[in-house]
Structures are given as C-alpha cells and as structure tokens.
Structure 1
Amino acid sequence: MISPFILFNPLKARRFVRRFEFFGKLLLRVVPFIEEDLEVLDPRIKAHVYLSSAFLSAFVYALFFPLLLFIATWGAKELWFVELAVFLYMFFFILVINIVYPRAKVQDMSKKIDRDLSFILNDMLIQLRSGVLLYDALIITSTSNYGMASKKLKRVVSRINEGYSDAEALGELARTIRSNFMRKTLWQLSTAMRVGGDVTDVLESIDKTVKEYNERELKRYLEKVNLLLFGYLLLGAVVPAIFLVTGVIVSAIMDIEFSELLIAVVLVSSLLVQAFLVGFIRTSKPAVIE
C-alpha cells in the first residue's frame, strides 16, 4: 500500500472507488505532481483513482472521531460545532497525508538508491575490468543485495531480455527514476553505448563525482548537527531552566504567583522543541550514513 491511511486499494477496489472519480479528478487539477510520483511507485495505479481512494479514505477516517465524541457527549446538542470542527480537521489532515505520502516515499527511495550507487559502481567497475560484458555486469548487480538500486536494474535486464538494446533499456529507466546520480549514470552509459565510448571511463568519472558529493554532504551534516545540538541545549534545557529560576525569584520578590498551567506550558513547549530538533537531525541525515 502506498499510504498507510488508504482504506480502499486503488487496484483491488477500483470498481467501488470509481463512483467517487469526480473528487479524484478535481484533486488531480490541484496536485498534478502526484501523477509522476505514482508512475515511479507503481505505474498500474492511475492518479485520479488513487486520489478518489484518498478522498474516500479520509472521509471514513474523519467520521470515526466525531462519532466517538458524539457518543461520549450523548445529549449535548451544543457541541455539534466541535464535532464538525473535529471532522473537518481530521478529514483535511488525513487527505493531505495521503496526497504527500507518495512524494515522501519517492524521495526516500531516491535516497536509498543514492546510498547504494557507489557500491554498485565499484562492483561494475571490477567486473568490467576483469572482462565481463556490461549486460552480464547488470545481471550480477541486479541480483546482488543493493536494495532498491538492484530492483531498478532488474527492470533494465528485463527490458533487454524483451528485445530492447542495452542503450534503450538504460535510457528508459533514466526517464522515470528520481535519483539524480542514478539518472546521470544511466544516461551517460546509454550515450556511451550509442556512440561507442568506453563504459569504464564513464563509470569511473561518475564514481569519483558520487564520492566527492558524499564527502561534502557528510561535512555539511556534521556542521549542521553541531549547530542544532547547540540549539537543542539552549532551547530544550537552558532557556526553560532560566525561565523557571527567574520566575521563582520574581514571584518571591514581587509576590506574583505563577500558575501551574504556565509552568506546564513551558515544560511541554520545551519537550516539543526537543522532539522537533531530534526529528530534524534524524531526517536531514545524508544517505551515505544511513
């Protein structure tokens, strides 16, 4: 399943989802980029069908929460606007998640491909230098344990077995893949094969570029982590401590009482800031150290 909040599979429940295609086609005008994302994830899924399923799933999920609130507050008619607000909030929240999730998944896939690309290039270089043909090298790397990159290369091998030339199969994958370095590798290999160039030189050049890029990304990440750790200590520990100590001193001198709610807000805000910074550090990791 592309999104964890999709209740109706766009492939298996297509006949049922088709009844809501109007909403899917309307959403597709607002978010046309999702068509490219779905093409990368699963070409069988049509964008308007997926969006129809996303709309219907969000509606069903959103009904559940105000229904619980209605049962819990049975007889309180004045809370209808709260139930409506909860429904609208949950509906748009889940709908947005369903819309952006495919793009997040594609980006995660690209990071994994970039992470494994250097190993694939080294593997192919060793094989080509030892006299192995490019087609055989593609078969070996596609069946090796290089994660998503190996799965993508299996498509190239499959196309070649169907009768496509090596250059055509590589170019076809380059048009659909989102990984910048993988796309560059495929295009340059395809071009080199069309003009009769040396494939080994192409792989060596790209491998050098990938390694230099990974080194730069690692240095940038370490610099960013140092700054974020300083912010983590400052906003997550120092500022709340200073606020509480200052509050105690001011309340003792000026006879001002700080409410428990204010203290709770400060502590919860501190925890949220810490969680945000930890999450940001985690998500900004370059692919090379994942």
Structure 2
Amino acid sequence: MPSPFDSEKLQDSARVLSSPAKRLLLMFPDLEWDLKRAGYEMGAVEYMGVVLFITIAAFGITTSVMAIPMFIAQTEVDPYITAGIPIIVTLFAFFYFLFMPRLTVMREGRLIDKDLEYMLKDMQIQLTAGVPLFNILANIAAGGYGACSKWVGDMVQEVESGGSMRDVLNNYGMLSPSEHMRRALWQIANAMQTGSDIKTALVALSNDIRQEKENKIKMYGQELSLWGLVYMITVIVAPSMGVTLLVVLSSFIGGAMINMDLFWGVLGGVIVFQLVFISIIRSKRPDIG
C-alpha cells in the first residue's frame, strides 16, 4: 500500500532533516519493520524525516494561528496558553504520524481476520474437490473476501512473476498484519515442504478462529453487564438522587444552591456521558464478521 507521504516534494523538503532523523530513529527501532508490514514504499530514515518536517510545520502553523489574531487585536493572553497549545498540537502530530504505520497494520489485521474464517473454509472445499493450490489462491483473490482477497491477490501476482510458491507463502506470512493469516500461510508452506495434508491444517486453524470469536462474544456479553450497571448508576440514579438531595439541602440555606444553570449542567453532563458511553461500547464490540 502506498504511503500517504509518497509525494516527492514532501520527501525532498524533509531530506534536510535526515541527520536528526537517523539519531531519533535509534529510539524507535521497530519503525522499519512497521513500514514494511504496512506496505509503505519508503525507508525508516525518509519516513522519520517526513514526520519531523510535518511536526515542525504543525508547530509553525499553530503558533501563527495563535499569535496573529493576538497581534492584530493587541490583546494580552496567558503565556501558558500561548505556548501550551502549540506544544500539545506538535506532540500530538509527532506521535500520531510516527505510529501511523503501526495503526495501519492493526487496522489491516482486523480487516483480514474479519473474513479469514470464510476464506479458509472456501479453501477446504476446493482442496476436497482436488483444485490445485495456485488455482485456489487465484479463486480466493477474485472471491470477494475483502482484505483477504487483496492480500492473496498480491501473492498470486508474485507467483505469476516467477516467485516460488513456498517462498511467497513464507514471505507474506512474515509480513502479514494478521496472526491468524500468518499461521495459515506458514502451515500451508510447511505442508508443501513436508508433503502433509494441507486441508487438515486449515481445518484446525478454522476451528481455532471460530473458538476465539465465540470467546470474544462471551467476554463482550460479560462486559456489557458491568457497563449496563455503570450506565444505570451514572445516567439514571446519580442525576435523580443528586438533584433531589440538592433540593433538600437548599431548603435549609434559602434555595441558593438551586437554579436553572444547575439543571442545564446536569442535562449537559448526562448527554456528554451518553455520547462517550456509546463510543466506548462501539469500540469494545468484537468485529467478528
């Protein structure tokens, strides 16, 4: 997959930062491997240089956006805010772009795992029918299995270009962002080398994937019970009992504690919590295809 930073102009601009990029790269030795697994067609030094260039640009732009309006309006602003916001934005930009290849690998791994079980079952059926392995991979590439088909399609192109089937399986297994896909490719390569039955290995792997999905569903159901209790306490019990308690207490001090701002504040807090709660539940939901 091409990198979003493959622009030649961007890389040329960042080339002046190669020296600090090399020194900084010592702190992140896994970046080269993450770039390979993510399919980025650039080296670690070039990528780190681009990250540094974007970080410096983010700092300059944020500082300008903060300083120019203050200069025009001739207003005084807290220096901690003036310096803090550009620093926070700069740090966020640096770490976000630095770990973007790893995030890409994780996202690609989830997409592969989503359809991998169905792909393996299709392979089992074709193996039972006596279809040759290369034809099976070609059928999978055109079979509409999402990221799995794309990954297998790249393997088919490598083999058609003259690569050894076993070497291609081993290489793509090493680069695979999915642990299950890695095991599947390596088991197929192993079976080819030893002459054992490929179908048996795929059946065992399919069962493992199915069992893992069932375990994820059970764990998610158990978590939902706890989150349901948290939701009920925070959204239903706490606001109603809290407001009632404040009304009772305010009767002893002349009602100074109760006003419309309090009720609007409680309503706003409940709405914000529900939005955050929905986001958390969605993020924890297992993507099992």
Q: TM-score range by the shorter chain?
A: 0.7 to 0.9
Give the Cα–Cα distance (whole angstroms) in 2 for the partners of residues 65 and 263 of structure 1. Answer: 37
1: CA distance, partners of 2:54 / 2:177: 28
Structure 2 residue 38 is the aligned partner of structure 1 residue 41: yes
Q: Relative to 1, partners in 2 of residues 1:205 and 1:60: Cα closer, same or farther, differing over 3 Å?
A: same
- Paired position in structure 2 for 1:183: 182
Q: Which residue of 1 aligns with 2:58?
A: 61
Q: Judge conservation of contact 1:2–1:101 (CA < 8 Å) in 2.
A: no
What residue identity is the alignment partner of 1:47?
A
Query: 2:35, 2:44 within 8 Å by CA — same for their partners in 1?
Result: yes
Structure 2 match to 1:234: 233
Distance 1:279 1:78, change over 3 A: closer
Identify which range, 53-62 or 126-135, moves more after superposition. 53-62
Q: Return the alpha-carbon distance in structure 2 between the equivalents of residues 250 and 81 of structure 1.
A: 39
- How high is the sequence identity, in percent, across the aligned residues? 24
TM normalised by structure 2 equals: 0.87
1:70 matched to 2:67: yes
CA distance in 1 between counterparts of 2:262 and 2:32 reads 47
Residue deviations 1:192-217, cap 9 Å, x none? Answer: 10000111111111112211211111
Give 1:63 deviation, angstroms: 2.9
CA distance in 2, matches of 1:233, 1:2: 46
Q: Which amino acid aligns with 1:46?
A: G
Cα separation, partners in 2 of 1:25 and 1:255, compared to 1, 3 Å: farther
Cross-structure match for 1:146: 145
CA distance in 2, matches of 1:250, 1:47: 63
Change (3 A) 1:284 1:77: same
Aligned partner of 2:285 in structure 1 is 285
Partner of 1:120: 119
Task: Report the CA distance between 1:265 and its aligned residue.
Answer: 6.2
Q: 1:184 to 1:46 in 2, by over 3 A?
A: same
Cα distance, 1:143–1:54 mapped onto 2, change above 3 Å: same
1:60-92 Cα distance to aligned partner (Å, 9 max, x none): 233333323323323235644432221111111
Give the SS at the match of 1:253: coil
Q: In 2, are the aligned partners of 1:112 and 1:148 still within 8 Å (CA)?
A: yes
Note the C-alpha offset of 1:260. 7.2
Write the mapping of 1:1-290 to structure 2, written as runs, cut at 5 A: 9=6, 13-74=10-71, 75-76=74-75, 79-255=78-254, 257-258=256-257, 269-289=269-289
Aligned mates of 2:213, 2:286 — CA distance in 1: 8
Gap runs ≥5 in structure 2 = none
Q: Which amino acid aligns with 1:138?
A: L
CA distance in 2, matches of 1:88, 1:133: 58
In 2, are the aligned partners of 1:167 and 1:190 still within 8 Å (CA)? yes
Matched to 2:277, the amino acid is: L
| 1:120–1:141 CA contact under 8 A, matched in 2 | yes
One-letter amino acid matched to 2:275: A
User: Unpaired segments of 5 or more residues in structure 1?
Assistant: none
Distance 1:2 1:135, change over 3 A: closer
* Equivalences, count: 286
Give CA-to-partner distance per residue, 1:44-63, whole Å, 9 cap, x none.
12222222222222332333
Deviations 1:114-159 (A, max 9, x none): 1100110111111111121111000110122111111111222122
Q: CA deviation at 1:10?
A: 5.8
Q: 1:266 offset after TM fit, Å?
A: 5.4
Report the Cα distance in structure 2 between the residues aligned to 1:260 and 1:86, rounded to whole angstroms.
33
Q: TM-score, normalised by structure 1?
A: 0.87
Q: 1:28 to 1:207 in 2, by over 3 A?
A: same
Q: Name which of structure 1's ranges 169-178 and 95-104 shifts more when overlaid on structure 2.
A: 95-104
User: Contact (CA 8 Å) 1:10, 1:49: kept in 2 or not?
Assistant: no
Find the aligned partners of 1:35 and 1:236 in 2 and give their Cα distance.
Answer: 47
Distance across 2 between alignment mates of 1:192 and 1:129: 15
Distance 1:246 1:47, change over 3 A: farther
